[in-house]
Amino acid sequence: MTDALLPATPQPLEKENDGYFRKGCNPLAQTGRSKLQNQRAALNQQILKAVRMRTGAENLLKVATNPKVREQARLELSFVNSDLQILKEELEGLNISLGVYQNTEEAFTIPLIPLGLKETKDVDFSVVLKDFILEHYSEDGYLYEDEIADLMDLRQACRTPSRDEAGVELLMTYFMQLGFVESRFFPPTRQMGLLFTWYDSLTGVPVSQQNLLLEKASVLFNTGALYTQIGTRCNRQTQAGLESAIDAFQRAAGVLNYLKETFTHTPSYDMSPAMLSVLVKMMLAQAQESVFEKISLPGIRNEFFMLVKVAQEAAKMGEVYQQLHAAMSQAPVKENIPYSWASLACVKAHHYAALAHYFTAILLIDHQVKPGTDVDHQEKCLYQLYDRMPEGLTPLATLKNGQQRRQLGKSHLRRALTHHEESVREASLCKKLRSIEVLQKVLSAAQERSRLTYAQHQEDDDLLNLINAPDVVAKTEQEVEIILPQFSKLTVTDFFQKLGPLSVFSANKRWTPPRSIRFTAEEGDLGFTLRGNAPVQVHFLDPYCSAAVAGAREGDYIVSIQLVDCKWLTVSEVMKLLKSFGQDEIEMKVVSLLDSTSSMHNKCATYSVGMQKTYSMICLAIEDDDKTDKTKKISKKLSFLSWGTNKNRQKSASTLCLPSVGVARPQIKKKLPSPFSLLNSDSSLY
């Protein structure tokens, strides 16, 4: 992800000023951004309350038959919808705040658009993970209290990341740690009872899921959002600041693009594929805008070839923002994208198109052919500046004819003024953009410059000028590209590595409880050999040796010897430990893997306030643990565990796993869809 990364081990608590916190996080700092996030959290709660009230009013309207009650419900519904629109506008205005997200040292630059961080609710891992460790790994969950506390501290720290590389690394560390947690504690065939809730960054609507997909996707979204905040915060008055901004926006686009391609069914509008595609375009557009500013930073010299280059760069910016605005105007994105964002994209499209025509006009009007002028080079540049020349004009003839050059230049000035007027008009239509003083100054100054230039060269016969200025060809010397997240550069240590190697000791594998084997080595012979890497397995077991008589079996994994944990020891280390006891009795604990297809409860639930069809559940029938009994028949009477399936499935409202009963059950032949097939359907998520 980044070049400078955190060490592999979990970060210790560091002291800075008067508070302890993880590197990359300072929840005690009362910065403008933290206050803005607090406002976002408060707005999220208000939006949640309004959405619930709207749902209640809609339900009342459906079932009510009394005309007065229905009229009252309609009135309440109109009030709630009005409140929701106001809250949405307030939420939209947070991201465009200049005093928080933009660099305060910038004097005369158009603001960029950052993404706000998604907010979440607290999650208590302790009870669920302790129970699972005892049930699945046959270990005391209280021995892992420190590890669980580290995980919860890391999650809490990720809610307030610092706006720098350390904050990005903190988020990526938690994302990588979630991969370990998912493999350790989240079997694919059951739910753990943990509910993860995240608020939509754009609409404030909360979304909840019982699996880690929403958690991982939201952390990735916040990583991309943090990159956008780093980019907008860079000092765009320096070369180094602009290069940092370009890099930050490219990395933001890479993270969001990875999120779009990896998590395709996230039940949140801000992480839908259509919305993420638009956000990727927006980040690349802002990176390209930073490239234009980097080229213009030393100053635009009034030279023919320099003006050609700048004109084409400006045309490139106009084209990019025009495409972005078109994407923002398409359904279903236009219903959820902030209006101020779409307006700003339209304003920038016209502003940069105006600059392209202005610089083209200057190179035509101010640079007449003089003795010693490289006419051939100018002809080539002018030929590449247009897709086609105006009718009746050729590049060479236009360069040598001063009158034609002036007429064509003034045509470009008129088109520049048209685009300037449109950009100012678009900015005046949006309340949020009208309040951005620096934007109004930049647009007005550019318009006034073009107007004065045209006034200086205006003649009485300009109305007879029938030349239409052609479009300037968009071209850039630095095409921005997506920088994908480099997870391989980030090394993270599994908090729960004491449970054993993940290749064996994971949630999707089941094994017997540890068995104690007491045996002795007869004349130095153990009676078996070892194989594999950590953990090692019993191999070539002599059926008459003392270990076999005590209950050892081929394929058993050795987890401890004389209370010494062996799950991470190699073959040579375990063999050395066994031989160190000589003729003394050895106590060895082993486990045996069970059939991975053994029955487990299978449920999946997704809940999103204010969305249709977002509460779905399936309860798969419990299969018989004894796979050898294939002849038992199924009773026609539905059992208690079948409640919620088939025709009664819609009446089910429980997401709790029913306890298993310690008796054999007949194998049920008919199966419901797996949770993964459910997650792949749109109806289960939206």
pLDDT tens digit string along 499-528?
A: 989 888 888 888 888 889 888 887 778 888
**pLDDT tens, position by position, 305-349:** 888 899 999 999 999 999 999 999 998 888 888 888 999 999 999
Specify whether domain 32-96 bears CATH 3.55.50.
Answer: no
Domain range annotation of the chain: 32-96, 103-298, 300-478, 510-591
Nearest of 62, 51, 75 to residue 205 by alpha carbon: 51
pLDDT band at 405 (very low <50, low <70, confident <90, very high): confident
Q: Which residue has the higher pLDDT, 304 or 572?
A: 572
DSSP character for 633?
P
Contacts of 64 (CB under 8 A, 6+ apart): 70, 73
CA distance 245 to 610: 36
Query: What is the pLDDT of the chain when averaged over all its residues?
Result: 78
Sorting pLDDT into bands at 50, 70 and 90, what band is 356?
Answer: very high
Taking only the tens place, the pLDDT of each residue in 376-403 is 777 787 778 888 777 767 766 667 777 8
Q: What is the 3-state secondary structure (H, E, C) of 563-601?
A: CEECCCCCHHHHHHHHHCCCCCCEEEEEECECCCCCCCC
The closest alpha carbon to 47, from 217, 209, 200, belongs to 200
pLDDT in tens, 67-87: 888 888 888 888 888 877 777
CA distances from 536 to 122, 367, 557, 560, 567 (A): 40, 81, 6, 11, 8
Pull the structure tokens for residue 563: 């209370």
Please give the backbone phi and psi of residue 12, each rounded to the nearest 5 degrees, phi first: -70, 160
How far lies 117's CA from each of 218, 294, 499, in Å?
9, 28, 34
| Terminal alpha carbon distance of the chain | 32
List, as own/partner pairs, every contact residues 626-633 make where C-beta atoms lie below 8 angstroms and the sequence separation is at least 24, other chains included: 626/664, 627/595, 627/597, 627/667, 629/664, 629/667, 630/667, 632/666, 632/667, 633/666
Which range of 74-83, 474-483, 616-625, 644-653 scores highest in mean pLDDT? It is 474-483
**Domain 510-591 class, CATH top level:** mainly beta
Dihedrals phi, psi of 200, to nearest 5 degrees: -60, 130
CATH code for the part of the protein at 103-298: 1.25.40.280
| Length of the chain (residues) | 686
